[in-house]
Structure formats: C-alpha cells, structure tokens
Chain A
C-alpha cells in the first residue's frame, strides 16, 4: 500500500530548534523567524549543537530565549555581546552566538559592538535589521530609512534632525582585523543567508576572530505592510540603502 506522503512529512525544522517551544512567538510574516530557522540549519550542518551557547538580547530577540535546543541565556538590552564575550573568554572551546536587533547592536549596545570588533573577540554576532524598534511598537532605529515613518518620526525620519541610517557592517569593516568576517544578508534569501551565517560561525570555530552578520528582515506589523509590500520594502528599498555582501 502506498503511504500517504503528506501525513508523514513533518515541517522542516532544524534539529537544533526546540520543538516544544513552537510555534515560535514572532508576529505572522516576521522575517526574524526565517532568519532563525536558517541559523538553526546552519548550526545543524556545522554539527556544533553540543558546544554552542546562544545568547539573545532584549527587543524581539528575547522571544528566542527558548527557541533553540541549545544552552541559552537571555541578557539585558544591549548587553548580550559582553555576556557572550565573557563566556567565550572563560570557556574558549565553546562556540558562542550573540543574537540582537538593530537597537541592541547599533544604539544601546553600540559601544560593545565597536569594542568587541576592535578587540577581534572570537564571537559571532547575528543582528537583525528591520529598520525600526519592533518590540516597543515601531519607533525609529539607527537603521530607519530617510523619510520612513515610525511612531517617533511621524513625518518620516529627517536627515537634518536624526542623521543618516547607520551602516553597521561597513562601519565595523573599517576598524577590524583582517581575520574577521563581516557580512550583510537578507532573511528572504535562504541560500545566501545560510552561507554567510555558516562562514561567520566557521570563522569563530577556526579561532580567527570576530564575525558579524547583519540580516535584513521584514516587520509587517510595524511597517503596516501586507505580504507583498513587506517583501518589496525589504528586498527592494532596504537593499538599495543596505547593499548585501561581504565586507571583510
């Protein structure tokens, strides 16, 4: 008798995802869930589940505190990177990831990102850029585009008031050692995203130094966009300002 394939096929979950905590806690259409699924597959393929510690920041990133079947710690806002730097120094054979948003990395924790990069700490940072502060309801982020409306820029971000959007990977690549790995990718491109995440983690495994991947990601709830408009804003508008690529 022929088996009914559909009934036997489980959703394609990464092995390193914690099934009991699914469905995930992100809003429908959120790009972070995609990015984290890709991160999960990257961890599976590298086979590092048992020696990895996953740290998450505050903001939407805190929703991942039990997302993975990995030893995990959730820190205060902006402070996940120093927490993971301390862990790595104390246990150099571990593989550590600091997962954060554009607020955690480019605003409230920017000094940690800059100094950790300067020290070439052997840690991996995954940062979600969705051009706004999503957990608190869509305020301006350092990554908010010029004339993009947020709840704190109701007339759109004005350059003369708030300056230009911050380009994290470009900035870090200017101050960092050549052994570092710095890239920008997008959560809608599974292949590119996974390849860059894997390269970043591999850089840490090889003991070369700091690695950083910024992932452009959709935020339909705070962008007030439907599916197509969300994809368009992410894939067309954001990539125009934030080009994908490897910077180091």
Chain B
C-alpha cells in the first residue's frame, strides 16, 4: 500500500491494472483521454498489456468484446457522445451476458455537452440500448473511489457477467488528490479470473449469437437474464450512509455531489441540525432495501444532482409508496457545492414553518 498524488484518470488505470486488466480499447474524448494515454504508457513498460486506439467508440466497444471472448480482461473508457456510440456494444454485451467494463466520465448535455461537471449520463449508462438495463453501474465520488471501484468493477463484471460501468466526471477525472493505491491481495480481495468464451477447451465448438428466430426464444432468454440480475443484485448493491440515525432530513446524492453532500452534513451537524446522507454507490442495481430502511422515521428528503432529474427518477421509482416530502437541487452541467446544499437545507427548514431540524 502506498499513497500517491494522482488524477482520477490515473487512479482508474492503476486500479484496472491492479485488477488484472490486460487490454484497453478506446477513442480519445475529453475528459477521458488521459486514461488511454496512461494505459498506452503503461503498456510500453509492461508488455503483457495490450492497447488498441480504434477509429471510433463503436469499434472500441466491439474490439473490447472480441478480446473478452478470447478470455482476456478487457475494458474501455469514454464520455458523452462516445458513450452513445458505445451503447451498440454494451447492448450486445448485455444480451450475451459478457463482462464488459467501461469508465464513463460524464459530460453535461445536450449534444457534446461540457466536460467538467455532469451527472447526465445516468439514464444512458444505466438503461441505454435496446435492452432492459441489466447493467451494473457504480458512481464514484472521488479519485480514491475511482481506484477502489476500478478494482471492484472487474471482479463484479467477471463474476456476474453483466456490463459494468464506473461513472465519474471531468472534475474527478482531472483533479489531483492523494490516493491510497494497493494490490487487491493486500486487502484480501480475491481476483475473479477471466475465461475464454471461444477457443477455450478443445472439444465441442461454440456458436454465440444475439439473433433469435422465435419471439419466445428471446423472451425466455431475457427473463433468465433478468432473474440472474435480480439474484445477483443483493450481493452487488453498495451505498454509504452518513449520520442517519437521528436525522430528520436525508440527503440523497451520488458521485461527486454525494461528496458535496457529505461535507454539507458535516457543516450542518456542526450547527446541531439533524441531517444525514444516503449515497448509493451502485445506481443500478439500486440499493432499494437500504434506501427504504434509511427513511424510517424521517421527515424529508433532499435530492441533489447535476442533472434535471435522472437520479431523481431512479430514487422515486425505488421509494415508491413512501410518504415523505421531497425537495431537490437539480443543476445539469454544473457542480453543486456543500454551501449550496447547506443553504437549501436551511430554506427547507424555514419553509416548513414550525419544523426544526435541530
């Protein structure tokens, strides 16, 4: 274990290497490009690492799939419009139960968007493609988490065989922070090995397809995938709870906004306010049971996100039936500071006259 000064992009690549990734494909796009550059540099020194800069993100996605079929831990990294193009490959991976891993540094839309703050690729990453959204999506709140989740994502992907993503944004990707790096074995993390889908053991040949002659064939296949996803969900979901015990208001936020919210809780607790935070680390599958449990006896929810409500829809869907007031801060393409959250909480306190959070 050591402490290093790294950008989120560097941390992600170091995490991928520590987790046994051997092949990266990609097409340059801000704010993710440096991941490719760091990998390309690492591949010069470590000859077991392979790299392909492709002609576009579709090619990157499918070349990644080709390498996965050969039994090599492979991944890609992209953002915004690149994520749109790569959905072609993710849709195929989802339906064929292939363990892809992709780092997505979100860009604020519409169109090419901005490159610093954004949580606007939640819909696309969680539910994109012509499938049912059987994907595992982590949302990192810091450079450290980009490292930790990189190691975790490869294991999750290869264990459960669903497309797996790590969401971040340009701010995290490019900010230098002190990060604890480690090899998985130092933390007793067991690495799930990759196995070839094709040209594996000699014997019967395998034909993999994603085309079906009968509607019934596909219907039953999707149902099978869905129940596998449901079954795995309890083991996959992750979340962070901050000072929920006596809280009357719970902030729901993910990723970098979750980090702001955590800071806001600290500030507000300093004033004696009863505020807590529920930060889902997996947006899909969503930690539904834990989220519902966290609300027992609570009065208000404050949702905060750098989007017009992509996270809000997920939260509301999962909290359906809960009788609790929801307030929100939605700022697509922009960051949200701890101070803004503090201010909003104070506004809520004032607007519910007679109610005190302290």
Bound form: Cα–Cα A53–B226 in Å: 29
Contact B59 A71 (CB under 8 A): no
Bound form: Cα–Cα A62–B213 in Å: 11
Whether B88 is near chain A, meaning CB under 8 Å from some CB there, is: yes
Stretch at the interface among B67-75, B133-141, B149-157, B270-278: B67-75
What's the nearest-Cβ distance from chain A to residue B178, in Å?
Answer: 35
Find chain A residues with CB under 8 A from B58 CB: 78-79, 82, 112
Contact B52 A65 (CB under 8 A): no
Find chain B residues with CB under 8 A from A112 CB: 55, 58-59
Find chain B residues with CB under 8 A from A221 CB: none
A79-94 to B contact mask, C-beta < 8 Å, 1/0: 1101111111111001
Find chain A residues with CB under 8 A from B59 CB: 79, 82, 85, 111-112, 115
Find chain A residues with CB under 8 A from B336 CB: none
Find chain A residues with CB under 8 A from B74 CB: 86, 90
Contact A71 B70 (CB under 8 A): no
Whether A66 is near chain B, meaning CB under 8 Å from some CB there, is: yes
Stretch at the interface among B2-10, B160-168, B198-206, B304-312: B198-206
Select one of A76, A85, A91, A114 contacting B63, CB under 8 A: A85
Contact A86 B62 (CB under 8 A): yes
Contact A85 B65 (CB under 8 A): no
Contact B198 A87 (CB under 8 A): yes
Whether B298 is near chain A, meaning CB under 8 Å from some CB there, is: no
Contact A90 B72 (CB under 8 A): yes
Contact A111 B66 (CB under 8 A): no
Known A75-B92, A79-B62, A82-B63; contact A87-B209, beta-carbon cutoff 8 A: no
What's the nearest-Cβ distance from chain A to residue B264, in Å?
Answer: 44
Contact B209 A65 (CB under 8 A): yes
What's the count of A-B pairs with C-beta under 8 Å?
Answer: 130
Find chain A residues with CB under 8 A from B66 CB: 55, 82-90
Whether A192 is near chain B, meaning CB under 8 Å from some CB there, is: no
Select one of B70, B89, B211 contacting A65, CB under 8 A: B211
Contact B207 A65 (CB under 8 A): yes
Select one of A55, A70, A75, A94 contacting B205, CB under 8 A: A70
Whether B338 is near chain A, meaning CB under 8 Å from some CB there, is: no
Whether B210 is near chain A, meaning CB under 8 Å from some CB there, is: yes
Whether A74 is near chain B, meaning CB under 8 Å from some CB there, is: yes
Which of B65, B88, B202, B207 gathers most chain A CB within 10 Å?
Answer: B207
Whether B245 is near chain A, meaning CB under 8 Å from some CB there, is: no
Query: Which residue on A lies nearest to B65, using beta carbons?
Result: A83
Select one of B23, B62, B205 contacting A83, CB under 8 A: B62
Query: Which residue on B lies nearest to A112, using beta carbons?
Result: B59
Find chain B residues with CB under 8 A from A87 CB: 66-67, 69-70, 198
Known A89-B23, A115-B59; contact A76-B70, beta-carbon cutoff 8 A: no
Whether A51 is near chain B, meaning CB under 8 Å from some CB there, is: yes
Query: Which residue on A lies nearest to B63, using beta carbons?
Result: A86
What's the nearest-Cβ distance from chain A to residue B45, in Å?
Answer: 19
- B194-230 interface with A by 8 A CB criterion: 196-199, 202, 205-211
Bound form: Cα–Cα A75–B196 in Å: 17
Whether A50 is near chain B, meaning CB under 8 Å from some CB there, is: yes
What's the nearest-Cβ distance from chain B to residue A55, in Å?
Answer: 8
Whether B288 is near chain A, meaning CB under 8 Å from some CB there, is: no
Contact A76 B207 (CB under 8 A): no
Bound form: Cα–Cα A120–B352 in Å: 68
Contact A74 B63 (CB under 8 A): no
Find chain A residues with CB under 8 A from B55 CB: 111-112, 114-115
Contact B210 A74 (CB under 8 A): yes
Bound form: Cα–Cα A112–B70 in Å: 20
Contact B207 A72 (CB under 8 A): yes
Find chain B residues with CB under 8 A from A53 CB: 69, 198-199
Contact A86 B92 (CB under 8 A): no
- A5-60 interface with B by 8 A CB criterion: 18, 50-51, 53, 55, 58
Whether A73 is near chain B, meaning CB under 8 Å from some CB there, is: yes
Known: A90-B70, A111-B59. 7 other contacts (CB 8 A): A53-B199, A66-B207, A72-B207, A76-B210, A82-B54, A82-B58, A87-B70
**Residues of B with Cβ closer than 8 Å to A?**
22-23, 25, 50, 52, 54-56, 58-72, 74, 88-89, 91-92, 196-199, 202, 205-211
5 pairs, A vs B, C-beta closer than 8 Å: A66-B209, A68-B205, A72-B208, A76-B210, A88-B66
Closest 8 interchain pairs by CB? A86-B66, A86-B63, A90-B67, A87-B66, A90-B70, A115-B55, A82-B59, A82-B62
